[in-house]
Amino acid sequence: MIGSLFHLARNLRAGFVLAREGALALVDPSALPPAARFGLKMARLVERPQAGDSAARLSKALTRLGPSYVKFGQFLATRPDIVGVAAARDLERLQDRMPPFPRAEAVRMVEIALGRPIDELFLEFSEPIAAASIAQVHKARLRTAEGEETVAVKVVRPGVREGFARDLQAMRAAARLFERVVPDAKRLKPLEIVEALARSVAVEMDLRLEAAAVSELAENTKDDPDFRVPKPEWDLTARDVLTTTWIDGIRLNDLAAIEAAGFDRVALGRTVIQSFLRHAIRDGYFHADMHPGNLFIDAEGRLVAVDFGIMGRLGMKERRFLAEILLGFIRRDYLRVAQVHFEAGYVPPHHSVEDFAQAIRAIGEPIHDRRADEISMAKLLTLLFEITALFDMATRIELVMLQKTMVVVEGVARNLDPKLDMWTTSEPVVRDWIERNLGPLGRAEQAGRGLWTLAGVIGDLPELALRAERVLNQLEDVTARGVSLNQDSVAAIGRAEARGNRWGVAALWIIAASLMIMLFRGFA
């Protein structure tokens, strides 16, 4: 009960800040029941007169609420299917920049994590040079067998896990209340969104997993001449500390420095797009936070990525889906694009392939009447997902993350080369992958893998037969005896449901009343 009151207090504060900054203007009142509509109307009485446009209001509110909510906003930026395209674009601009914690505290964290004094670990250890909500970065020097080396040391903030845990518990309570009070909200799966955020943050706060991501991406791209990633120093990496080689380079949004260094911006824009597509389609593993702050060009003209806390992964089915729909649009083969959606199982079979192809043609044909530099592949994918919603295509988190990353990557590339031809740039990567994986050689390899899988199934047949026999015996018992549910259980279920509904409505009235009290007391 006490925990519930704490969660209620935290959510009341969050609700007040959201209302004050005007973020509740994004809520559609027509989708709410009468009691919730009244609560929303009362809450909006505290809205600032000059709160700005509705999309910008949300990012301002989340920034005021602190690191956990900033991270939540960044996570929601990957879900335009939930918050809407305008809000998602605004949330992408949320700055994950926080005041740094003292160097002495970072030194203490490093010594605890690595079990040795800082002077034994590094020759030098700088003041913080960048700070975010989860960790901050220091520049250091260490002695290796090859000589001295400059490294970047990422240190997790003290107490960050406890702070995120408290805020996530409050978010879970709010999501449960939202699902209970607004039945239509269940399709948006708010509790699942919070749980996905919790998993994402847990991964980000274990820097050993980020080191593994760096290592895997480095292995995938070791033969790519125009792309590289820093190398993790495993002996100087733990749950709370990540040490990697230092990157000296020019940020991709520093166009003046890029031109002064003599680099070809057109070629660099092409490298950004093709590198991302190779990682996504060829490897099925891509950097999902490729904004300009995480991309550099080194002295040799290679693209360098940093900060691997958010990564995306695609299975073979998703990679084939992506490659074939892109090639289908390039070749204007809309029927094939539609067939790929059905073959992947993304669109229910009760729909017509031909009708779906017609809808896709409505997206594809207008772009072929425009110049190549006017066509946005990211916008194309956004429109495609909007059309698929009309045909009951279920949301695929990995594809939404891919689409969001494509928006960012395309923006980076077009900033380098405003006349970038997305189709010409993408076509070689897409074509090569399809020829390699869906051509004769790829079919032969698939057949080989299929035979190996079939051999494994045949070897498991005796065990499968025993399991099937046990299941059939259990079904026969259920059929013979039936399933009983006594009256006490039915009554208890009814009482619990009624109690839950009463608490949900009561909580809404408490929130509305609290906001009214804040208003009349002159809260700012």
Residues classed as catalytic: 289
Q: Closest Cα partner for 211 from 179, 236, 194? A: 236
One-letter amino acid of 114 = L
Please give the distance of CA 384 from its chain centroid, rounded to a whole number.
Answer: 19
Query: Which secondary structure element, helix H or strand E, spans residue 73, and what is its range?
Result: helix 67-76
Q: What is the C-alpha to C-alpha distance for residues 81 and 318, in angstroms, rounded to an integer? A: 18
> Alpha carbon of 430 to those of 272, 376, 407, 512: distances in Å?
15, 17, 18, 54
> Alpha carbon of 249 to those of 127, 160, 304: distances in Å?
20, 30, 8
Strands 147-156 and 241-245: antiparallel
135 Cβ contact partners less than 8 Å away, ≥ 6 residues apart: 154, 155, 156, 157, 160, 207, 242
SS3 of 229-296: the string is: CCCECHHHCECCEEEEECCCCEECCCHHHHHHCCCCHHHHHHHHHHHHHHHHHHHCEEECCCCHHHEE
Please give the distance of CA 2 from its chain centroid, rounded to a whole number.
Answer: 33
Give me the residues paired with residue 241 across strands: 155, 238
Q: What is the C-alpha to C-alpha distance for residues 39 and 172, in angstroms, rounded to an integer? A: 20
Q: What is the C-alpha to C-alpha distance for residues 270 and 268, in angstroms, rounded to an integer? A: 5
Between helix 397-416 and helix 377-390 the angle, nearest 10°, is 150
27-66 core/surface letters (b: 16 or more CB in 10 A; e: else): beeeebeeebeebbebbbebbeeebeebbbbbbbbbbebe
Q: What is the C-alpha to C-alpha distance for residues 85 and 77, in angstroms, rounded to an integer? A: 9
Q: What is the C-alpha to C-alpha distance for residues 69 and 167, in angstroms, rounded to an integer? A: 8
Q: What is the C-alpha to C-alpha distance for residues 478 and 326, in angstroms, rounded to an integer? A: 51
